[in-house]
């Protein structure tokens, strides 16, 4: 399916690695103009250089998204370069393990800034331009908002906030014909996830145990599968879809574990 994203300027936060990089790469392959936004200049430039061998070199912007002024500057640079914005993908964040028992109020608030506040800041600064193009916002979230995880109060709260903002913005911005949706991630194989698995005493067995609990195919979601849904939601092919919280997780969050093969339960 042609998603008709050619020449659409899309900002992607945390766009240099993992799910963000998969989104950037897919958008570039669809003829869109992805803008890579992240804190690590080397990572941003490396992805931009790699994509430049296949087509136009994406704009790479170094920004510490916990600083509101950096969010504003990133949007301004994108507009200065391309003159318009058609989409925003809020993706940057990290599960930082700020728990109720061990965390402090200061750590909790800092985590909200790392994982939620910049979603608001990026949307706020991009909004005037998204109104002009009747664009789309996609917020990347985590199943932790719905299932809990343990020892991660701040990250869970941030993701609950992402879901709430998705619904609120969908209501608030419908009058501008501007759509807002979320893509929820559960167990998705990325370099960061792989690094975590390798830190465990028995990484192979740990991965097998996790995958055995995923109803559809007993395998992890790929970053490319997340990117496919994001690109669809950014496109006019999803022209009557807004306020939706869509799980791309092989049924991990909601499906009955009775669906699992008996020998792998």
Q: How far is CA 249 from CA 14, 29, 131, 214, 226, in A?
A: 20, 23, 31, 8, 9
3-class DSSP state for residue 128? Answer: helix
Buried b (16+ CB within 10 A) or exposed e, 27-60: bbebebbbbbbbbeeebbebbbeebeeeeeebbb
Q: How far is CA 140 from CA 4, 7, 12, in A?
A: 22, 23, 10
End-to-end CA distance of the chain: 37
Q: How far apart are CA 37 and CA 177, in angstroms?
A: 26
User: Contact 244/237 with Cβ under 8 angstroms?
Assistant: no
3-class DSSP state for residue 136? Answer: strand
Choosing from 129, 155, 193, 252, the catalytic residue is 155
Tell me, yes or no, if 129 is annotated catalytic.
no
Q: How far apart are CA 205 and CA 207, in angstroms?
A: 5
Q: How far is CA 202 from CA 57, 211, 212, 244, in A?
A: 41, 14, 16, 38
Residue 34: strand pairing partners: 10
Q: Residue 117 gets which letter from DSSP?
A: I
Instruction: Give the active site residues.
Output: 155
């Amino acid at each position: 399916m042609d998603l008709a994203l050619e020449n659409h300027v899309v900002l992607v936060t945390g766009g240099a690695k993992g799910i963000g990089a998969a989104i950037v790469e897919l958008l570039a392959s669809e003829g869109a103009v992805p803008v890579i936004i992240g804190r690590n200049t080397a990572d941003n430039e490396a992805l931009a250089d790699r994509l430049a061998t296949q087509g136009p070199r994406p704009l790479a912007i170094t920004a510490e998204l916990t600083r509101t002024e950096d969010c504003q500057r990133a949007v301004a640079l994108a507009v200065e370069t391309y003159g318009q914005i058609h989409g925003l993908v809020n993706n940057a964040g990290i599960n930082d393990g700020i728990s109720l028992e061990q965390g402090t109020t200061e750590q909790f608030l800092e985590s909200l800034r790392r994982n939620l506040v910049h979603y608001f800041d990026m949307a706020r600064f991009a909004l005037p331009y998204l109104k002009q193009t009747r664009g789309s916002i996609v917020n990347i979230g985590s199943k932790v908002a719905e299932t809990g995880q343990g020892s991660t109060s701040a990250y869970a709260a941030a993701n609950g906030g992402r879901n709430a903002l998705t619904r609120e913005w969908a209501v608030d911005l419908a009058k501008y014909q501007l759509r807002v949706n979320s893509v929820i991630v559960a167990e998705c194989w990325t370099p960061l996830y792989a690094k975590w698995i390798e830190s465990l005493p028995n990484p192979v067995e740990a991965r097998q145990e996790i995958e055995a609990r995923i109803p559809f195919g007993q395998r992890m979601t790929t970053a490319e599968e997340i990117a496919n849904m994001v690109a669809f939601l950014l496109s006019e092919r999803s022209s009557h879809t807004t306020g939706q919280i869509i799980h791309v997780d092989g049924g991990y969050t909601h499906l009955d574990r009775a669906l699992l093969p008996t020998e792998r339960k």
